C-alpha cells in the first residue's frame, strides 16, 4: 500500500458509489431491516455529512463520515473498508481522520451505532481501542438488540 490519502469524498465518483453500494448490501444482510441503520446513497447526499474517502493511489480503500447531531455532538457514519484493504490499517486511519475532523469542528462528543453480530466484532474492538465505550441510544435511535451504541469525549 502506498501512502494512504484521506480527502473529502465525491458521491458522484463511480468507485465511491460502488463501495457504498457494497457497504449498504453487506449491512442490510446482517439483520432485520428495521435494525439496520446504514444510509442509502441518496440519504447520504442529502444529510449534509462530512464525507471522506481513503485512497491508495487511484484505488478506493475506504470511506467514513461525520454527521453533526448538534453543535457539540457528532456521529460516525458509513465507516467501511474495501475487502482488499481490511486488516491493513485503513479503518484505523479513517477513524483517526474522522476523530481529528470532529475535534476541528469543535465537537466535544462523537458517537456511533454498529451491529452486535459476530461480523461487527472487529469494528467494535477497534472503536473500543480508540476510547469509544458502550452508551445508551442517542439521537433518534431506539434500544435494539441488534445495535451497539458507543460514544467518546473529544
Read off the pLDDT of residues 82-128 as tens digits, 9 standing for 90 and up. Answer: 989 999 999 999 999 999 999 999 999 999 999 888 888 999 999 99
Q: What are phi and psi of 23, to 5 degrees?
A: -60, -45
Backbone φ and ψ for 109, nearest 5 degrees, come out as -140, 140
For residues 147 and 37, the answer to whether their CB atoms sit within 8 Å is yes
Its pTM stands at 0.90
- List, for residues 65-94, the tens digit of each pLDDT value: 999 999 999 999 988 899 899 999 999 999
**Contact 148/120 with Cβ under 8 angstroms?**
yes
Amino acid at each position: 500500500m502506498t501512502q494512504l490519502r484521506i480527502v473529502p469524498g465525491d458521491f458522484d465518483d463511480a468507485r465511491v458509489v460502488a463501495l457504498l453500494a457494497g457497504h449498504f448490501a453487506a449491512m442490510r444482510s446482517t439483520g432485520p431491516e428495521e435494525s439496520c441503520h446504514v444510509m442509502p446513497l441518496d440519504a447520504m447526499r442529502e444529510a449534509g455529512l462530512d464525507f471522506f474517502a481513503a485512497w491508495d493511489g487511484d484505488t478506493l480503500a475506504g470511506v467514513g463520515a461525520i454527521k453533526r447531531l448538534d453543535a457539540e455532538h457528532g456521529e460516525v457514519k458509513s465507516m467501511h473498508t474495501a475487502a482488499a484493504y481490511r486488516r491493513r490499517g485503513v479503518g484505523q486511519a479513517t477513524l483517526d481522520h474522522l476523530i481529528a475532523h470532529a475535534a476541528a469542528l469543535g465537537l466535544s462528543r462523537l458517537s456511533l451505532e454498529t451491529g452486535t453480530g459476530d461480523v461487527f466484532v472487529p469494528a467494535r474492538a477497534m472503536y473500543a481501542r480508540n476510547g469509544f465505550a458502550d452508551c445508551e441510544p442517542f439521537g433518534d435511535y431506539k434500544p435494539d438488540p441488534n445495535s451497539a451504541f458507543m460514544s467518546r469525549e473529544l
